Amino acid sequence: LAKTTQPISMDSYEGQEVNITCSHNNIATNDYITWYQQFPSQGPRFIIQGYKTKVTNEVASLFIPADRKSSTLSLPRVSLSDTAVYYCLVVSLTDSWGKLQFGAGTQVVVTP
Partner 1 sequence: NAGVTQTPKFRILKIGQSMTLQCTQDMNHNYMYWYRQDPGMGLKLIYYSVGAGITDKGEVPNGYNVSRSTTEDFPLRLELAAPSQTSVYFCASTGDMNTEAFFGQGTRLTVV
Q: Which residues bind partner 1 (CB under 8 A)?
A: 32, 34, 36, 41-46, 49, 85, 87, 91-93, 97-105
8/66 with CB nearer partner 1: 8
Residues 6+ away with beta carbon under 8 Å from 28: 2, 92, 94, 95
105: left (phi over 0), alpha (psi -120 to 50) or beta: left
**Burial of 12: CB neighbours in 10 Å, binned 0-12, 13-18, 19+:** middle
6/70 with CB nearer partner 1: 6
Q: Quote the least distance from Cβ 112 to partner 1, whole Å.
A: 24
Rg of the chain (C-alpha set): 14
Angle CA(4)–CA(9)–CA(10) in degrees, nearest 5?
A: 115
Q: Quote the least distance from Cβ 36 to partner 1, whole Å.
A: 8
5/16 with CB nearer partner 1: 5
16/53 with CB nearer partner 1: 53
